[in-house]
Chain A
Amino acid sequence: MKSVIEHTLDIITRTRGEVLGHKEPTGETLFMVWGYPTAFFLLLEFAALMLLHQNWCTWIWLGIPLVGAPLMIYYLRKDDDHTHCRTIEANVILQMWMFLGFISCLGGFLMGCADVFEICYCTFQGLLVSMGCFVTGVILRFRPKTLCGFIGAILSFAALFFQGEHWPWQLFVAAVVAIITLIIPGHLFRRYVRITFRKNS
């Protein structure tokens, strides 16, 4: 009887080990999917404001969710097709980024409606993104991501130095933060996943 129980407990341990051992981190493309549109549209908004000085230019950032969201849905489906499963960590990270993205967009929208660009919103936004990058790095145990999040958070405070009529430079700082916290760790993580998990496939 004990050998039957031992066998059953062994099945549980073995299956658990097999599942946990073959877990490939997903969502490495999501960082770039959001990173490139963020950097592009923020730099475009910065350039437009510097050259045209028109109020409508402050809405160019809306291109970020308009381009990022459909791309994210597409790549999430692609990731699921590739791995055939979603880990608990991946789900936590996804939900955290959805929350941060929503808060970030809502804040930007309200700022635009209230026409209060003197407030250092880019610092706040940069801190949100950096925090997301830092926490993602901690969850995935990927140190470069944690480090990029830390650097991004410190750099976000640089936006505080651009007040009054120089406020468009905050957008430039936010674009640099996006490159550091989204694009660079995205590429590093993709390389890490390819080398570690897909070298034999």
Chain B
Amino acid sequence: MRTTASTALICWALASCPDSVAGAPLTAFRAAKESFALYEPIFVEVSVENSEGREIRVDLGKNRKGHLVFDVISPDGSQHDDLRLPDPGAGSTGGVAVAPGETYRQQVLLNEWFPFREPGTYRVFARVDGGSPSTLLIRIEPRDDKALHVVCSDLVQRILQAKGHEQLELARAFSYIEDPVAVPYVARMLSADALFHSQYLLLVSLERIGTPAAAEVLISTLKSKDEDSRDLARDALSRLAGQTSNEALRDRIRSALRGDP
């Protein structure tokens, strides 16, 4: 499915806009597959095709995803409109130059926009801000321990082998596996010493999971040699202690934050 995005929003550099008006780039969204395990990262490919005879420039927003907008209709019929990534914070600019006849492609993690926490079929309308939407059907299978283990194992392997931006994005994807199955994998990655400043994403995921096992990993991170990890673990544990109804867990966390042995 392709849509013609609004030229006004696609144009990145004003000087290039008149050139792009004649034939606006074609944007398309395509899910990596039809169905996903519950909590499996959902990757969607965004493509921008330049059918013009000259280079075009498009602005996909902060980190090349700030201008991507999704509307989601959940399996129960509830509608979630105009989902955008939060604006605060620093990020790279989203300008992309596409050569004539070329197609720019990138993967985005749909979970960043919406948590697919229930099994069923979701209808997703994806667009570049101001453009016409493409429709995606995302089927989320019921929770499957074994499938999640496979997903986790595969992602961990890729994360530990990846570097730079790729590792960062894979770790981000992993952080959306909000299932206790992910905890030992996170623990393994944190102890592997192979992450280059992407630990913070995994610590956030432990807070989302929130189980005693996840808390234990966060507690062990309080002794990490990485300052960010220590501070984030402390922050996450503080919130977790305030939110949990599990008294034993709360006591355990508070004890750890006090530095009790």
Question: Does A pair with B?
Answer: no
Interface residues of B (CB under 8 A from A): none
Interface residues of A (CB under 8 A from B): none
